Structure 1
Amino acid sequence: MSPTDRVDRTGDATEKLSTGSGVPRTRNGVTAVLRRPELASIVGAVGVFVLFMVVAPSFRSLDSFATVLYTASTLGIVALAVGLLMIADEFDLSTGVAVTTTALAASMMSYNWHLQTWVGSLLALAVALAVGFFNGWMVTKTGVPSFLITLATFLMLQGLNLAVTKMITNAVATPTISDMQGFEICRRIFAGSFSVFGVSVKITVLWWVLFVLVAHVVLFRTKFGNWVFAVGGNPSAARAVGVPVDRVKIILFMVVAASCWFVGQHNLYNFDSIQAGQGVGNEFFYIIAAVVGGVAMTGGKGTAVGTAVGALIYGMTTQGIVYAGWNPDWLKFFVGAVLLLAVLSNNSFSKFTEARK
């Protein structure tokens, strides 16, 4: 990008500054805060937290917080990557089944080829990256919307998961691999636990925090982050100033696939056996977490922290309903209501801040 191109550090893709001015308009601190894409989600997270602290006494324990963080982390790892892709104005509907695909691949390759489990996991990572590359390449080379390309991938992976698993194992679940070499070290990496004040916390929480920090730095401190916002804000203008739009999108699809692989390995080493039909429908929760966290459906706007807050809201909601003793059948209604409120709030904040420019 030329020196006159800039991405606003609030997460909005902005137009190129005029060469004559060269200096961005100053904003007071309050306006800068109001322009943060994740502001509405933070307010919502506080509201959900207060609600369940009041109505669910068991929600107040440290063990409950650990469970909430675990739920949020397994969702948030994929939601983070999905959010980055959405900032670039693309979608991936294959994520839910891709998580299961990578777990099935690692399990069956390790078991049937008599490999150490970490080798099977690395081979599964190669499978995941190939799927991500396929999605990105098809989207960029055909011009077909990513919604349709990844919907097709979703259906193909769903069929492969069931058909290949039944063909190889004569069942719909993989055999146990807990007695194979390498399982314990992989379990510690992907599904281990550590103690904080006597409370057991899953290691996925640490991985989630680390990934969010890395994504934040990449988005707001690197050239690639500028490219992501530029591609989502105005791909034609980005391409005109030398941004490799197709490459950026393919890389982001592969990052999404890698995040699916990571959560898939967690599921494998946490539960030992994988059902071929798992994961269907989770792709929507990943998108919901990103949108609730302030990522724009039209691209060009969002933050890594916002996706984390969106995942945390989901974690508090799913576990809070259980702790409050409410009928869990209302869960999806509640999640849908949160999504609607988040979208309306984000639109209201956007209109308000645009009016103050």
Structure 2
Amino acid sequence: MTAATATVDERVAQSRLVDRLVVRPEIGALLGAIVVFVFFSVVAGQFLSMNGAATWLDDASTLGIMAVAVALLMIGGEFDLSAGVMTASTALVTAMLATQAGWNVWLALAASLVFALFVGAFNGWLVMRTGLPSFIVTLGTFLALQGLNLGITRLVTGTVQVSGMRSADGYESAGMFFASKIAVGGTEFQVSILWWVLAAAVAALVLVRTSFGNWIFAVGGAPTSARAVGVPLVKTKILLFMTTAFAGWIVGSINILRFTSVQANQGIGLELQFIIAAVVGGCLLTGGFGSAVGAAIGALIFGMARQGIVFANWNSDWFMLFLGIMLLAAVLVNNTFRRRAERVRR
């Protein structure tokens, strides 16, 4: 056998396991989740119990739904600072139509969905039309929604809260769909956990198995080149903003039907947590790189850490320290994995 025939063609050579893993954006988040899980399993006695797991999975679920949608948008190269307030706005629209206007809850939910999709489409259209950074456009939307939430709620109810959902027509069936509990081994788990898993699974399939997923990576990584090869840049980004708004509607619906009341100032500040969860999950702030599954794992880390601190009887203020360290570590790890992935692919 000659040296030429003995040499394996690099195009058909099997890549090493490490190389295959390192190109996955979520690998850093998975390692972090394992570390956090093991740590709190040791220091917090209740953490591993069924009730403990139900608590931290519930904590992570609504954050995870939003983090997955925000991750798709970040991979597409954009941000949505109105995502947190959107969860409150949709809940307020549903609650006011159901309790003040006497609508059936399902009709109120449909109206709030239309409202959410309109705001998402408007955000995307304005970003594309003006060329302004999405950071600025959605900051304006954030302030506008915050003002509308407070102003209209006080005008209609005389307070900054809407309640009374339990007495609305259609509450029982809608509550079963969005806010019921599932018994597992004598422990009740919130159905929002299933919504979270479903959101991550659908988003992951879209990213890796569809043309739209390829468009998302293309418009985030190299928008000029993407447009040059026929990728519908404007359509893709508008749909991504609408996806984030849709996720906000799901979370808002879960919250209003579970707690039966909503505060007008709810959701403020959550947009940063959504972004941090996506970054921890492997998304880069520059776009073009990330993972929906990683964002879901990033939310899981949030839930485990926040509730683990409570189970360990520590002051909850320590969570903010953990959050800062986690964000900095994630950015450094993600950049390292991105550079390594680029070398492997070359």
Q: Taking structure 1 as the reference length, what is the TM-score of the superposition?
A: 0.92
Q: What is the distance in 2 between the residues matched to 1:228 and 1:347?
A: 19
Task: After TM superposition, give the deviation of residue 355 of structure 1 in Å.
Answer: 4.3
* Contact 1:321-1:331 within 8 A present in 2 as well: yes
Q: How does 1:178-257 map to 2 (within 5 A)?
A: 178-257=166-245
Question: Does residue 56 of structure 1 match 2:51?
Answer: no
Look up the match of 2:66.
78
Correspondent of 1:350 among 327, 338, 342: 338
Deviation at 1:118, TM superposition (A): 0.9
* 1:133 corresponds to: 121
Find the partner of 2:17 among 16, 26, 29: 29
Give the aligned length.
335
Aligned partners of 1:169 and 1:175 also within 8 Å: no
User: What is the correspondence of 1:2-41 to structure 2 with a 5 Å cutoff?
Assistant: 27-41=15-29
Secondary structure of 1:125's partner? helix
Which of 177-186 and 87-96 deviates more?
177-186
Residue-by-residue CA offset, 1:62-91 (whole Å, 9 max, x unaligned) = 111111111111100011000000000000
What percentage of aligned pairs have identical amino acids?
A: 50
Aligned to 2:5: none
Which residue does the alignment assign to 2:275?
287
Task: Measure how far apart 1:113 and its partner are.
Answer: 1.9
Per the alignment, residue 148 of structure 1 pairs with 136
For the residue of structure 2 that corresponds to 1:33, the secondary structure is helix
SS in 1 for 2:102: coil
Residue 162 of structure 2 aligns to a residue whose secondary structure is: coil
Which of residues 327, 339, 357 is equivalent to 2:327? 339
1:172: which partner in 2? 160
Indicate the larger mover: 330-339 or 97-106.
Answer: 330-339
Give the alignment's Cα RMSD to 1 decimal.
Answer: 1.3
Residues 102-127 of structure 1: CA deviation (Å, up to 9, x unaligned):
00001101222211111101100000
What secondary structure is seen at the aligned counterpart in 2 of 1:74?
helix
**What is the alpha-carbon distance in structure 2 between the residues aligned to residue 240 and residue 352 of structure 1?**
28
Whichever residue aligns with residue 238 of structure 1, its letter is A
1:43 alignment partner, one of 25, 28, 31: 31
**Partner-residue secondary structure (3-state), 2:18:** helix
Report the counterpart of residue 7 of structure 1 in structure 2.
none
* Deviation at residue 24 of structure 1 after TM alignment: 9.0
Give me the whole-angstrom Cα distance separating, in 2, the residues matched to 1:253 and 1:346.
24
> What does residue 8 of structure 2 align with?
none
| Consecutive unaligned residues in structure 1, runs of 5 or more | 1-22
Amino acid corresponding to residue 201 of structure 2 in structure 1: L
The CA distance in 1 between the partners of 2:293 and 2:341, in whole Å, is 20
Paired position in structure 1 for 2:150: 162
Q: Give TM-score, length-normalised by structure 2.
A: 0.94
Q: 1:317 aligns with which of 281, 288, 305?
A: 305
> Displacement of 1:350 after TM fit?
2.6
Q: Does the 8 Å CA contact 2:25/2:289 hold for their aligned counterparts?
A: yes
Partner residue in 1 for 2:261: 273
The answer to whether the Cα contact below 8 Å between 1:100 and 1:279 also exists between their aligned partners in 2 is yes
Offset from partner CA, 1:273-316 (integer Å, 9 cap, x none): 11101110000000000000001111111111101110000000
Q: Which amino acid aligns with 1:198?
A: G
Q: Which amino acid aligns with 2:303?
A: G
For 1:259, the aligned partner's letter is: A
Does the 8 Å CA contact 2:284/2:335 hold for their aligned counterparts? no
Task: Give the deviation of 1:93 after TM superposition.
Answer: 0.2
| Partner residue, 2:90 | 102
Partners of 2:308 and 2:122 in 1: how far apart? Answer: 39
Q: Provide the C-alpha distance between the structure 2 equivalents of 1:94 and 1:26, rounded to a whole number of angstroms.
A: 45
Could you tell which deviates more after superposition, 105-114 or 44-53? 105-114
Aligned to 1:20: none
Q: Write the distance in 1 (CA, Å) between the matches of 2:321 and 2:269.
A: 15
Structure 2 match to 1:298: 286
1:127 maps to amino acid: F
